[in-house]
Chains A and B, each alone.
Chain A
Amino acid sequence: MKQPFIDLYDQYFDDLYRYVYYKVGNKWDADDIVSEAFRKAYERHSTLRENSNAKAWLMTIARNAVIDFYRRRKPAVPVEQLNELAQPGAFEEQFAPDDDLDCVRKTLDLLTQEDRELVNLRYFAGMKNREIGEMLAKSEETIKTRVFRLLKKMNILVTNCLEGARKHE
């Protein structure tokens, strides 16, 4: 049976909000886009098929809402970047200088837009590989491989960052 909309809202609000917040980097716009995304989802809820993945469906709506937002607000952004926009500023000023997470945050800034989107979907929006695959029209196996490679890449970058930080202590 299809989940009632209110259950979807309760279950996925936090993940959706964080996904959007990381993309736009500020509460003001995140609030707008999240409101918009849930409203659209509500209106289209009747079209959600019973056997389809509700989270992938909802996050796709959120992703499109961000694209719409940038179309209006930042139309100079090239089309190919619209899907991949992420704001490195989302974490600014929330870290103590000695926090090792600071290196993880800095490493995110070094990733390609595509990889950053993958991190956002997988870890900040808490999506499963299968759900991401459904969203990006890729197989679950492809996403799994990409995530694995991405973690390895981040590992190296974070290690370098931490070593650099220690040299300056």
Chain B
Amino acid sequence: MSEGYMEESLHRLKSRLPVDEQLKKRLRASIPGWRRRRIIRRSAWISAVTAMVLMLVFTLQYPGAKTTVEAAALQIRNQVSFVDIGSGTPLGVSEFEGTVYIPVEEGGVHAYDGSGYREVTEREADDVKVDPSGTKLLLSNKGTIGVHDLSSGSYTELLRGDGTALFYEQPTWKDERTILYVKKVIEPRPTHGFDVLESTIYAMDIVSGKAEAIGEGAYPSYAAGSKSIVFQRERDSVYQVIRMELASGDETVIDEGRFPSVSQDGGYVAYVKTETGRRELKPNAYVQEDVDQMWISDVDGRTKRKVTENLPIQTTIDEREWADQLKEGDPEQTLQQSGLYSYYQSSWGTNAESLYVLKGGNAEGAQLRVMRIDFAEEALGAAETVEAFNQARIRRDLDFARSLLRNDPEFVIVSNPRQVSYSVIGSGEEAGRAYVDVEEYWSYTANPAYSIEKVRYYVSASPNGFLIDEMEKRGELTVSERPDGSIELQEEDGSKRTLLTRGDLPKELVPQGDYRFASLAYIPGQNKLIFTIQALQDEEAGQKASVIVASYDAAQKTFEQLGRIDTLRGMNNVGVSNMIVSASGGYAALDLFSDDDPAFGSHTVLIDLKQKEQLSIEEQTGETEATTGFAYYWEGDSLHFMLASGEETIHYKWDAVNKQLHRP
């Protein structure tokens, strides 16, 4: 073997690294538009969206009590992925009155609510179900089932498998003293894998320990009211969701699907259904798409509806190129494609108003997240739909964002500039078409660049609420730095003017040593610039890095210092990587770091711009071990932000007016 061989091998290895040809084409096509510092995101859609609007009769209110609302009539109010679990296999999720319990692989069971994110027990668990009174957690782990008492912290083992052939798993509460579970007996195959010899659903009285077999199946869930259980059963490689009357043993197939979960009122069942599609590219080349979707149904199966809009994953393989490589007479081949996301177990919130789902990304490197889907009898209004779309796009909940669009545009979301907020500024009708006008605020990480886009969203009603038909950019205002270091405002009409030069700065705002302008924001209504000055490390001037936050009233030509940050968590040399200002101009959230921090963490500080008060957001969460945190976006005067601790990244919402912490 020679160095020549090694070089040749590395060149061959290079060819195994993919190039995203679709991105290459899309990005290239967008370059002419970059002159205005824009990113490709909507222009491609607008031309693709037809003007045809289906004006369907839409009833906002549905008669009858909540329990009589059919599953198909439940409207999706929101869908948010709020917990990223850094690694691990699908674990579980269960909720009681606002507190979400999550078993983390090799990390115990955690609770997450408005008080923060905390460990409930360090006991390992692969599934968790909170009991109807909210006092006990039913845990399973490696074939063993037990109960953790939330008040005393004690643990009582109920069933123990042998960990090799006998497993007790998938436990759920039937009532406060009865559980359902699955007894699974497996037999290892001679080489690898195993055969399931038995998968029987049992009910057990946890006080007496008496257990009773109910029938064959998996993932049981009790349907109160109808006195039946709903479970999954496989027949000829097809998974079915089945309801069984406990008294008679009569069975009804609700739908094809997996991981059924019944709401606590017994009204609805949620499950994962795989949409399959097969396309012929040529006589011996096919594409098979298997895309998971979440569905809900009435427990009696009367009505059902899909509640996610998962999409096939974009692969790096060019289908046409792949098919062209196959010659006539070659054996038939099929290219398998999955969805962008896979959905696993789900669990209903206390009042059947929310469904919690484990959602795993199938792109390489994607993480497992806990997603919540909120339901109501009333669908989102037009403005709410547009707001939900903006939030989902900022959060990258693309399956939800996509579900709010009538057509199926291609998404391209890049890291910078990024949308940091939005504001609905009006609504109305134009030539019979309903619209919602939005200001979208975009910012560029660590750079003095900011833009406000006015976008008109054309919407129309559908049986499941409003959908966005088309988006049209109607104006743009940008604030950016010129090569000479001055800050320039470009108005919607294209006219430009200098807002600020370094020479304009009053003496008290000018650092002694070297400095530059960093993140900024502009509030047109107030003609006000909120900006940061990054004082750089300058040994000659004896200056350490620090951040000054100030405002500039462009009409009055007056400056005001709003805050100054010299230290961060006791460390010097502070830098600002990002600042986002609420649409009202009342609050600014700054992501700061210290060059002296060996962990290179980012920490968010909130400034009340009127009171000139500073607040460490992380301290409000009680998450003292957070290694990093960063601001996400403003929803009115509430800041959405993320905290990362260990492998978990948690999404919180801070009500800046009332100084209260919430989960989103």
Chain A residues with a Cβ under 8 A of chain B: 5-6, 9-10, 13-14, 17-18, 21-22, 24-36, 38-39, 42-43, 68-69, 71-72, 75-79, 82, 87, 89-91, 94-95, 100-101, 104-105, 119, 122-124, 126, 148, 151-152, 154-155, 158-159
A35-B27, A69-B415 known; A18 and B10 CB under 8 Å? no
Interface residues on B, range: 35 or more
Pairwise interchain contact A91-B630, C-beta atoms closer than 8 A: no
Asked whether B11 is an interface residue with its Cβ less than 8 Å from the other chain, the reply is yes
Pairwise interchain contact A29-B416, C-beta atoms closer than 8 A: no
Q: Mark B14-45, 1 if CB is under 8 A from A, else 0.
A: 10111110011001100100100101000000
Stretch touching chain A among B368-376, B434-442, B559-567, B596-604: B596-604
Q: Closest residue to B417 on the A side, CB-wise?
A: A39
A119 to B471, CA, bound (A): 45
A36 to B3, CA, bound (A): 36
Pairwise interchain contact B415-A33, C-beta atoms closer than 8 A: yes
CB neighbours of B24 from chain A (8 A) = 13-14, 17
Q: Closest residue to A13 on the B side, CB-wise?
A: B24
Interface of chain A, helix or strand or loop or mixed? helix
Asked whether B150 is an interface residue with its Cβ less than 8 Å from the other chain, the reply is no
- Within 563-591 of B, Cβ neighbours of A (below 8 Å) are at 577
Most-contacted residue by chain B among A5, A35, A101, A105 (CB, 10 A): A35
Q: Add 16 more A-B contacts to A14-B19, A27-B314 (CB < 8 A).
A: A25-B364, A26-B364, A26-B366, A27-B18, A27-B364, A36-B414, A39-B414, A72-B630, A75-B628, A79-B600, A91-B16, A101-B12, A124-B13, A124-B14, A148-B3, A158-B6
Chain B residues with a Cβ under 8 A of chain A: 1-3, 5-7, 9-14, 16-20, 23-24, 27-28, 31, 34, 37, 39, 314, 316, 361, 363-366, 412-416, 445-446, 577, 593, 598-602, 627-628, 630, 644
A68 to B23, CA, bound (A): 21
Pairwise interchain contact A159-B599, C-beta atoms closer than 8 A: no
Pairwise interchain contact A31-B365, C-beta atoms closer than 8 A: no
Pairwise interchain contact A123-B19, C-beta atoms closer than 8 A: no
Q: List 29 A-B contacts (CB under 8 A).
A: A6-B31, A13-B24, A17-B24, A18-B17, A26-B363, A26-B364, A26-B366, A27-B363, A28-B366, A35-B39, A35-B412, A35-B414, A38-B27, A38-B31, A39-B414, A43-B34, A71-B600, A71-B602, A75-B599, A87-B365, A100-B9, A101-B12, A123-B7, A123-B10, A124-B13, A154-B6, A155-B1, A158-B1, A158-B6
Pairwise interchain contact B1-A17, C-beta atoms closer than 8 A: no
A69 to B600, CA, bound (A): 13
A94 to B12, CA, bound (A): 13
A25 to B363, CA, bound (A): 10
CB neighbours of A91 from chain B (8 A) = 13, 16-17
Min CB distance A21 to B, Å, is: 5
Pairwise interchain contact A89-B415, C-beta atoms closer than 8 A: no
Pairwise interchain contact B627-A155, C-beta atoms closer than 8 A: no
User: In the complex, which of the residues B9, B19, B365, B414 contacts A158, with contact meaning CB atoms closer than 8 Å?
Assistant: B9
A84 to B105, CA, bound (A): 29
Min CB distance A130 to B, Å, is: 17
A21 to B20, CA, bound (A): 10
For the complex of A and B, list the 4 residue pairs with the smallest distance between their C-beta atoms, beginning with the closest: A26-B365, A26-B364, A123-B10, A35-B414
Q: Closest residue to B37 on the A side, CB-wise?
A: A43
A160 to B577, CA, bound (A): 46
Min CB distance A20 to B, Å, is: 10
